[in-house]
A and B are shown apart, each in its own frame.
Chain A
Amino acid sequence: MTTSTAARTNTTQTPARTTVARDPYVWGVLAIVVVAIIGLHGLPVSKLIAAGLTPEGLAAITRAFTADLAPLWNSLLLGLLVALLGTVVGFLMAYAQVFLSFPGKRVLHWLTLLPMISPPFAVATAMITMFGRRGIITYHLLGLDFTLYGLQGLVIVLAMTFTPLAYLNIRAMLENMDPSLFEAAKALGASEAYILFRVTLPMVTPALLASFLILFVEAVADLANPLVLGGDFRVLASEIYFAVAGNGNVSAAAGLALILLLPALGVFCVQKYWAARKSVVTITGKPTGSRVDVTDHGITIPVLAVVTLWTALIVVLYGAIAVGGVTNILGVDNTITGAHYEFVARLGSTAVTTTLWMTVVAAPVGALLAVLIAWLVVRQFPRFGRVLDFLGMLGSAIPGTVLGLGFALAYAKPTWLFGIQILPALAGGVSVGAGAIAIIGVYVARAIPTGQQSVIASLSQVNPQIEEAATSLGASVAHTMRAVTLPLINPAILTAIMYGATRSMTTITAIIFITTPQTKVMTSQILDEVDAGRFGNAFAYCTVLIGLVLIVLGVTTAALRLVTRRKSA
């Protein structure tokens, strides 16, 4: 028994890329994911690009850069202002939440998040009622002649809508900063203001930058609010809408959508691969020591002032929504009435049930795809996984307007492959399921990214040896996944469902081009009511929708508690 040197020549041959021959099941899962990604992103985007590159589409693009520069310019301006305001406010809210001590911190947290779970028109409509030309506060209380329509209103409303994103992002980073860092700075004699500007801010710069970029893209892509509040202020997103709804010129719309798509993808790449790498915060391990609250009045007073003002605005607006649903015309005729809710019950009940069932289908499907993608990325294809991860995340990188238009283009007609019809028409009133399938598709596409992120994070924490133990005991790949992996990442799966459901129920921008008269969705019903000036009905709808979202959140949170309790018990 000695070692042999006979077969040494073998050592120089290129090693296999894979460590273990893959089970057919893995290929099956990969096939499902690839087909889903092609169906949800690939086909819509490629149809959109094709339509955008027709002569009509190119003409629209040329016009947008030459003769009719206003929408492009306005979109840029709007995006920059919203991103700036939202990031600053988001930072201050997060800073107060993490570093200051004051009563009502928990409540503040939920109030800050409220715009995230409410339908897009809620804020805009309430804003008009309270601060518009005949607004309760601006006109009746202060006697001002102030108009919200145009840039000023849009900036405030969009900033309100998207600040929660910045807040969550920045808060996570602030919380992960090691408190001993601040202790060290203090021990070296730094004042709290000095620490804020020389330690805290530089360290959260990646989060600030990421938030700025996300908000910019969201603001530029938002369609709902410019429709309600834009007035003469034309932006690219609303131009796209009017090109379709007004002139039926889909190619022109596609061309304009391409102008939105490119910067959005650029921002996404910068944010995902550059800002993430620049992160200086250690995310592994528990931070040591405990945080000492900042007490310098030079910091606390201005921060709390902004926080209070912003929170007051949220309270006023959501108060208006709640009250507006039960008054005749809020601010004009304040008599209490049940008419709006009766309207919702009579004409809106189908919309409520349709929205709910489509959400109930879409959220788990989105979560399932998120789980499959995460499993492939983390466990099966460590290298190629980066590509899959990127493709899955496209659902949030592609602006809603663009995705929705892409769906309309791709699925309004049957899908053909090599001369064989593989899919009937899925979008539009005359399609199979009366357009519901396409809407569910959009919901799923939008649900995947956040779910994918949370499942990847969770799966990376699971010791791979546990799965190998199952394999070693004879379990097949499929059995291991089902009996071992999935139960271990239950909480992340529920979180994925929760985000997916919230997003589905509140989205309008992405489905505005594919809603049909037969398939009534609550958000588009709200748009109809707002358009018709029946704000009371819109308020009632909004309240019902917020209530439904809260119920869904409550149920999933309770399930989450149950699951995690059982595991730790």
Chain B
Amino acid sequence: MTPSESSPVATANTGSRAGALELRHVTKAFATSHTVATAVDDFTATIEPGQFVTLLGPSGCGKTTTLRMIAGFETPTSGEILLDGASMVSVPPNRRPMSMVFQSYALFPNLNVADNISFGLRVKRVAKAERIRRVAAAMEQVGIAEYVKRYPHELSGGQQQRVALARALVMEPKILLFDEPLSNLDAKLRERMRDEIKAIQARAGITSVFVTHDQSEAMTMSDVIVVMNRGRIEQIGAPHEVYRRPATRFVAAFLGKANFVDAEVTAVHPDSTATVQLPGIRLTAPCHADVAAGRRATVMIRSEAVRLTDGCGAVTGTVTTAAFDGAITQYRVNTEWGPLQVDSTGTETPRQPGSTIGCELANDQVWILPGEQA
């Protein structure tokens, strides 16, 4: 992800399918009846051609607003949006070479599947023969070829979703935009569609921006995840980066299960590790660049980084609850560091609540963050 310096030639990349998208200091404030609410605050990111980027964050953090600004349904209060180096801000949404897949699918209820998919091609006055070919190809691609003549209300949720996807794909857009397209599907189907969308996107190689508040969706599908909170970007990175090396405590807590323990930093080492003093133990683990010796730090311990032993471990504690969940067993353990959440891939015998156990840490799954300013 290298920031592409804006090229003045708008048509530079039009030959290639996938577009390069760049957002610079994009801010959106809505004037509500009483106040001005900043929905997106100084959003800067570069998306490389062909990348699958996810905007992830809690409800109301500005994901949809960002996506709608890219699509052109909202105008940024300030900032620039560039596609292949050309400014998009003054281009109306229907002239942007992007297609959007909506949460509600937004199929045209009065048109059948084939007409829904060919709608955009008709608008572009694509010749009939080519139109038919492309519609057929798109339907083949998403596996709905047998429903040509059906109307949207005669399709299941998953089928409607595929039509919506085909309708966007058939336009051969430079950018595909998705706003929580899977949230109306049940868990099983969601997983299947997730894999399919990812596969189709990878095959077509279309740059995609995908909005979700589901972290596992984001982790499994994305090349890059943009974690947002209250309109601001918390972190941009590959899934394993944001998961294992979160930039902030918010990101750590939002993705996966994490325990946080306050500590004093005793030393920072040149290999990006630091030693911290925890109650009863000194611990050396990878650390964030802003961690400094002598300052407070927050130690992030993933729930799966803890192993329960009969010995002493890093810290000892008492099991308060144990919940067997098939693949893992979820424990809560009261320790000197406070309560710990532990996910144990339980091949060992289950621990009973009340039993005393030791907690061992896998140090490379521990991450030291700068402490919250006190």
Chain A residues with CB under 8 Å of chain B are 1-8, 10-11, 13-21, 23, 463, 465-466, 468-477, 479, 483-484, 487-488, 567-568
Contact = CB atoms under 8 A, between A and B. Distances in A.
Given A7-B25, A11-B42, A20 B74 contact: yes
Contact of A465 (B74, B106, B124, B177): B106
Nearest to A463: B104
B26 to A, nearest CB: 9
Contact of B77 (A15, A476, A567): A15
Given A17-B31, A465-B106, A473-B167, 15 more contacts: A1-B1, A4-B44, A8-B41, A8-B42, A10-B77, A20-B92, A463-B104, A463-B106, A465-B104, A466-B108, A468-B73, A469-B100, A469-B106, A473-B94, A474-B120
A1 B3 contact: yes
B77 A468 contact: no
Interface in B65-88: 71-75, 77-79
Given A15-B31, A466-B108, A7 B42 contact: yes
Contacts of A20: 72-75, 92-93
Nearest to A1: B236
A23 B30 CA distance: 20
Contacts of B147: none
A567 B110 contact: yes
Contacts of B232: 3
A3 B93 contact: no
Contact of A474 (B27, B74, B171): B171
Contacts of A11: 27, 29, 38, 41-42, 77-78
Contacts of A567: 109-110
A24 to B, nearest CB: 10
Nearest to A484: B108
Interface majority SS (helix, strand, loop, mixed), chain A: loop
21 contacts: A1-B46, A3-B44, A3-B232, A7-B78, A11-B41, A14-B31, A14-B36, A15-B29, A19-B74, A21-B75, A21-B90, A465-B103, A466-B107, A472-B99, A473-B168, A475-B119, A475-B120, A479-B123, A483-B119, A488-B110, A567-B109
A55 B95 CA distance: 60
Nearest to B90: A21
Nearest to B97: A474
A16 B99 CA distance: 25
A465 B153 CA distance: 16
B337 interface: no
Nearest to B39: A15
B366 interface: no
A6 B77 CA distance: 16
B79 A7 contact: yes
Contacts of A468: 71, 73, 93, 100, 102, 106
B323 to A, nearest CB: 36
Contacts of B72: 20
Interface of B: 1, 3, 25, 27-31, 36, 38, 41-46, 71-75, 77-79, 90, 92-95, 98-100, 102-104, 106-110, 119-120, 123-124, 153, 164, 167-168, 171, 177, 232-233, 236-237
Which of B25, B74, B79, B233 has the largest count of A CB atoms less than 10 A from its CB? B25
Given A10-B77, A15-B77, A473 B119 contact: yes
Contacts of A475: 94, 119-120, 123
A471 B71 CA distance: 10
Given A7-B25, A10-B27, A11-B29, A472 B100 contact: yes
A218 B164 CA distance: 51
A21 B72 CA distance: 9
A5 B42 contact: yes
Given A5-B42, A470-B119, A473-B120, A10 B102 contact: no
Given A15-B36, A474-B171, A567-B109, A469 B25 contact: no
A483 B116 CA distance: 11
Contacts of A488: 109-110
Contacts of B45: 1
Contacts of B99: 472-473
Nearest to B231: A11
Contact of B123 (A1, A7, A474, A487): A474
B30 A15 contact: yes
Contacts of A14: 31, 36
A302 to B, nearest CB: 47
A465 B110 contact: no
A7 B75 CA distance: 17
A23 B92 contact: yes
Contacts of A23: 92
B260 to A, nearest CB: 22
B42 A3 contact: yes
A475 B3 CA distance: 32
A350 B292 CA distance: 97
B151 to A, nearest CB: 8
Contacts of B31: 14-15, 17
Nearest to A3: B233
A465 B99 CA distance: 13
A14 B264 CA distance: 44
A13 B78 CA distance: 9
B75 A472 contact: no
Contact of B236 (A2, A7, A470, A477): A2
Contact of A470 (B75, B95, B108): B108
Contacts of B100: 468-469, 472
Contacts of B44: 3-4
Contacts of A470: 108, 119
Nearest to A476: B94
Contacts of B90: 21
A485 to B, nearest CB: 10
**9 nearest A-B pairs in the assembled complex, by CB-CB distance:** A473-B120, A7-B25, A10-B78, A15-B29, A469-B106, A465-B106, A472-B100, A3-B233, A474-B123
A200 to B, nearest CB: 34
A531 B71 CA distance: 67
Contacts of A463: 104, 106
Contacts of A471: 73, 93-94
A466 B106 contact: yes
A393 B38 CA distance: 36
Contact of A10 (B3, B25, B92): B25
A568 B110 CA distance: 9
Which of A11, A465, A468, A483 has the largest count of B CB atoms less than 10 A from its CB? A11
Contacts of B29: 11, 15
A468 to B, nearest CB: 6
A174 B168 CA distance: 45
Nearest to A7: B25
B77 A16 contact: yes
B117 to A, nearest CB: 10
Nearest to A6: B25
Contact of B73 (A3, A19, A484): A19
B89 to A, nearest CB: 9
Which of A3, A5, A473, A488 has the largest count of B CB atoms less than 10 A from its CB? A473
A70 B41 CA distance: 68
Nearest to A566: B110
Nearest to A20: B75
Contacts of A17: 31
A468 B236 CA distance: 29
A556 B77 CA distance: 47
B66 to A, nearest CB: 13
Given A15-B36, A20-B74, A465 B102 contact: yes
Contacts of A18: 75
Contacts of A466: 106-109
Contacts of B94: 471-477
A477 B123 CA distance: 12
A469 B108 contact: yes
B108 A472 contact: no
B269 to A, nearest CB: 23
